[in-house]
Structure 1
Amino acid sequence: MTELDRRSFLGRGLATAGGVLASGVAMETLGAHASWADAGRPWTDPNQVGYGPLRRTPARNTGEELLALPAGFSYVVLGRTGTPMTDGVATPIAHDGMAAFPGTRRHTARLIRNHEVRTPPGSPIGRVHVPGSERYDELGVGGTTTLEVDLRSGEVLRHFVSLNGTIINCAGGMMLHGRGWLTCEETTAGRGQGWERKHGYIFEVPLDGPEPGRPAASMPLTAMGRFSHEAVAVDPRTGYVYETEDDSGKPDGLYRFRPRNPRHLASGGVLEMLKIKNVDTYDCREGQTMGTRLPVEWVRIDDPDPDLENGAPTCTQQGLAKGGAKFNRLEGCWYGDGSVFFNSTSGGDAKNGDAPGADGYREGYGQVWRLIPGTRGRGDTLVLVYESPGRRELDSPDNLVFTPRGGIVLCEDDASSADADPHPLAPGLTNVNRLIGLDPRRGEPFEFAVNIADDSEFAGACFAPDGSTMFVNQLGSTAELDPPGRTYAIRGPWRRGPL
């Protein structure tokens, strides 16, 4: 993700698609957390850290108890699945990746939100669809919606479809200089699965242009690769776009796109996969040591838009054949402190008990990686900054958010079927998802929020440009109307604690 207005947070940080491009305090937080975990310190009672004990909290505007939050924090529900939007379309299902931009008026913010709809081609259930608009695939069911929100009242001023004709829009990232949102398809499906066009691409959603009833034209950026995309982060110094891959059950790669014109990605460029220097197919998924600096080189993907339907090798296969490094379930991705941070949701040595993947790898509880781009002739460097020792500390991190005040929030996406993790605040739920905060002073993890409504993941966490409000999504079902997707706007005494 990329920087916006340096004055936004009074010199403490910068707004980004994933949250905040903070000062070095945030990097120190990760360092402290790695030290905390590496020392084998026991899990602290969550009542004694962060903002104190959590309590089941009703939404201010609906009265439903959907989240557990610390005392003093409140929230409103924005854009629940099925709610009629300004353009007359019902709010789609599957609320996923999201970015917060300055609004068109004072005290407002504009959100661009992904919808990871996984219904069959042309299905009417919860789809993102505006008849007569310029769509890439007429049968596409996914896309994005845009919301204008009053930050003081929490009222949605208008909301509408801003892109359609795509499928399985999972995560993404902010375009260079905050000009819009890059939305990513987490699939490589095509005509063989019933779609009219092949999928697995990144699409642009301009900040300015889409209006109610007039979504942006959906045009794939084919040079950026055809694979199961998750998130992207843009280096504002070079315009390079870093892309994560999540092809569940198989080794994944970290990609870099070097555009010919950083302001016009459709002009093409070069797609590459990360490789550990002088080591072929280095396995980053397990057996790693936090803090070790691994030298990086990049291998070119010769065919970034492979004809998979006729047996062409995938982007991953091409990269691994040249010695690219292996990761597992790369998801959230964020630019800050001159580096790219990304999560391997199921990397690590502590295993969650799920069945092994296609190559025998057994999933872990998650890793946080830092890629440091080289300067002045120096090569890039990869560092493991945190690896979860178990589900209590952190279970399956997805999005990574640096806050305006130097803290860190990790969104859990616990998809484990073997290791149940019930929670006392969510009776009846087997796999509970949380927002986990990291204390900048001690690096200690703590629970900031618990989804007590259902077992779906948290996603799309980001802060309003003025730092007053954290927005976050509850995914809901990706194929049915129930449980519904929801967007929350959370306010409270942020300065009282580490976030």
Structure 2
Amino acid sequence: MNQSNSRRTFLKQGGLVALGFMGLYQFVQPVAQAGNLRLGRGYGDLLPDPEGILNLPRGFSYKIISRSGQPMKDGFLVPGNPDGMGTFAGKNGRVIIVRNHELSADSFDKGPFGEGNQLFEKVAKRAFYDQGKGTLPSLGGTTTLVYNPATGEVENEFLSLGGTLRNCAGGITPWGSWLTCEETTLNAGDLEGQLEQDHGYVFEVPASEVAKLVEAKPIKEMGRFNHEAVAVDPKTSIVYLTEDRGDGLFYRFIPTVPGKLHKGGKLQALAIKGQKSRDTRNWKDLTGPKFPINEGLEVEWVDLDEIDAPKDDLRHRGFESGAAVFARGEGIWFGEGELYFACTNGGEISAGQIFKYIPGAKEGKKDEATSPGKLELFAEPNDREILKSCDNLAIAPWGDLLLCEDDKHPFVVGISPDGEYYKLAENVGFPSEFAGGVFSPDGSTYFVNIQGAGLTLAIMGPWAQKA
């Protein structure tokens, strides 16, 4: 596939229409500056679900397509705690979904091998990352689903990555794979000596309809820290990474060979040009000036060393070197020449922020300082009735930004091109966060997880019809 076609496919699979989202920026900006944020109707009022699980607008429907604990086609069980997801175009109209599972080694009741790990003996050990000396295998990883939109059925479901821990979010690549991130920094020898491997890495999982456990190889040069999510620039293959810490950094990885992440590269952290160690969190008890809304600030990038960080101090050393600090960087999504990422606990009332980053014309090159990238605080509602604890995010094909709330009574919140926030879905069945919201490549279906309940849902409806 040539570069231009690959890039178009990547944007389509990401559910992106650049002009639509630029329209979102143009309309939201004055609303945010004026402090006149408003909750609109979006697709209309949310109607009570007879099943008591998911309230949706009129004309919308959902179907539970996967439940934790059910048998998969490979003989293992659907793991619990589903989190970040990526979608890819499969054969004959199928959708390939690669799904994370945020599980620890002791999540026995939610793992793929049964409560006593009795099915672990059947796993391909050579592909499994951390066997935990055979008694405490790491139970995180990914599963892959092959979904048929025509029938609404999952035709295949299997374990695709095993032996990792707390796979939270990740991101799709232009070359057809899913990057899954470990949100932990446990070391080999932890958990009473049972862990055999260091954790806190990014792993790559090809999007495939063939049931196979891929060999788990950490991309170590992307750093070891509390990874959350990634986004890949299709023009440069530069990977941008978020860190789920209250004092986390925002990173980028410049690969030595574009599209070949295992070939190595350079890890850096974002700094605001001329503002050493800038605090972007805008917490009310912090001293110093607030980070401005809708003002693009030029950035520079700080080189990082000792990126394996056995003391889990990468962010501290980066901050001391001048990098900016963020409040729990989480979901991230790449648009047309720009990316957006959520900071779950940012803002004056710690209800969340959304940042926008525009790479420079010479991003990642030696002379990039002549045309630096810009960081902008895109939205900070400071109103929990409008938005609280924004986590995973995705951009709809028509330009709306959809955010999953990490809360016991969460909503999927949209921001429309006319500047209005609206509620798309409400979890009324389980005291658990929404996670992993993502559109199918053709934009017809929105997939989302109810994490604590172990459910993956497909939402369909009249997406083009606003109230």
Q: Give the alignment's TM-score, normalised by structure 1.
A: 0.83
2:95 aligned residue (109, 114, 125):
109
Deviation by residue 1:375-405 (Cα, 9 ceiling, x = unmatched)? 1540111011100221011001111211111
1:280 aligned residue (263, 276, 279):
276
> Number of residues paired by the alignment?
434
Deviates more, 1:299-308 or 1:67-76: 299-308
- 1:402, 1:35 → 2: CA distance? 20
- Whether 2:296 is the aligned partner of 1:300: answer no
- Whether 2:236 is the aligned partner of 1:238: answer yes
Q: Does the CA contact (< 8 Å) of 1:407 and 1:437 recur in 2?
A: yes
- 1:319, 1:30 → 2: CA distance? 30
Give the equivalent residue in structure 2 for 1:417.
none
Q: Does the CA contact (< 8 Å) of 1:3 and 1:21 recur in 2?
A: no
- Superposed CA RMSD in Å reads 2.0
Q: Does the CA contact (< 8 Å) of 1:57 and 1:74 recur in 2?
A: no
Give the equivalent residue in structure 2 for 1:87.
74
- Whether 2:437 is the aligned partner of 1:461: answer yes
- 2:304, 2:458 → 1: CA distance? 40
The one-letter code matched in structure 2 to 1:56 is: P
2:111 aligned residue (103, 113, 127):
127
Q: Does the CA contact (< 8 Å) of 1:81 and 1:485 recur in 2?
A: yes
- 2:278, 2:256 → 1: CA distance? 29
Give the equivalent residue in structure 2 for 1:419.
none
SS at match of 1:400: strand
1:30 aligned residue (20, 25, 34):
25
2:173 aligned residue (175, 180, 186):
175
Deviation by residue 1:302-341 (Cα, 9 ceiling, x = unmatched)? 1111233xxxx62112211211101010000111020121
Give the equivalent residue in structure 2 for 1:489.
458
Deviation by residue 1:416-437 (Cα, 9 ceiling, x = unmatched)? xxxxxxxxxxxxxxx4100011
Deviates more, 1:186-195 or 1:95-104: 186-195
The one-letter code matched in structure 2 to 1:321 is: E
* Inter-CA distance 307–202: structure 2 relative to 1 (3 Å threshold): same
Q: Does the CA contact (< 8 Å) of 1:203 and 1:220 recur in 2?
A: yes
Deviation by residue 1:419-464 (Cα, 9 ceiling, x = unmatched)? xxxxxxxxxxxx4100011121x21101110011112111111111
Give the equivalent residue in structure 2 for 1:207.
207
* Inter-CA distance 335–452: structure 2 relative to 1 (3 Å threshold): same
2:256 aligned residue (237, 243, 260):
260
Runs of 5+ consecutive residues of structure 1 not aligned to the other structure:
59-63, 352-363, 415-430, 477-483
1:475 aligned residue (439, 443, 451):
451
Give the equivalent residue in structure 1 for 2:285.
none
SS at match of 1:473: strand
SS at match of 1:24: helix
1:185 aligned residue (176, 182, 185):
182
- 1:54, 1:492 → 2: CA distance? 13
Give 1:137-148 correspondences, 5 Å limit: 137-138=130-131, 139-148=137-146
- Whether 2:20 is the aligned partner of 1:21: answer no
Deviation by residue 1:121-147 (Cα, 9 ceiling, x = unmatched)? xx5321145623411101211000000
Q: Does the CA contact (< 8 Å) of 1:253 and 1:327 recur in 2?
A: yes
SS at match of 2:185: coil
Q: Does the CA contact (< 8 Å) of 2:436 and 2:447 recur in 1?
A: yes
* Inter-CA distance 5–492: structure 2 relative to 1 (3 Å threshold): farther
- 1:264, 1:160 → 2: CA distance? 25
SS at match of 1:14: helix
- 1:141, 1:271 → 2: CA distance? 28
Runs of 5+ consecutive residues of structure 2 not aligned to the other structure:
114-119, 132-136, 283-289, 363-369
| Identity score, percent | 41
- Whether 2:399 is the aligned partner of 1:406: answer yes
- Whether 2:416 is the aligned partner of 1:439: answer yes
SS at match of 2:110: coil
Q: Give the alignment's TM-score, normalised by structure 2.
A: 0.89
Deviation by residue 1:188-219 (Cα, 9 ceiling, x = unmatched)? 012223422110000010123x743x310111
Give the equivalent residue in structure 2 for 1:67.
54
- 2:223, 2:381 → 1: CA distance? 30
Q: Does the CA contact (< 8 Å) of 1:31 and 1:385 recur in 2?
A: no
Deviates more, 1:335-344 or 1:21-30: 21-30
- 1:292, 1:494 → 2: CA distance? 31
For residue 26 of structure 1, report the CA deviation from its aligned partner. 1.1
- 1:296, 1:341 → 2: CA distance? 15
SS at match of 2:24: helix
Q: Does the CA contact (< 8 Å) of 1:86 and 1:159 recur in 2?
A: yes
- 1:327, 1:404 → 2: CA distance? 28
- 2:7, 2:234 → 1: CA distance? 13
Give the equivalent residue in structure 2 for 1:390.
383
The one-letter code matched in structure 1 to 2:328 is: R
For residue 105 of structure 1, report the CA deviation from its aligned partner. 2.2
Q: Does the CA contact (< 8 Å) of 1:74 and 1:491 recur in 2?
A: yes
Give the equivalent residue in structure 1 for 2:355.
369
Q: Does the CA contact (< 8 Å) of 2:399 and 2:416 recur in 1?
A: no
SS at match of 1:69: strand
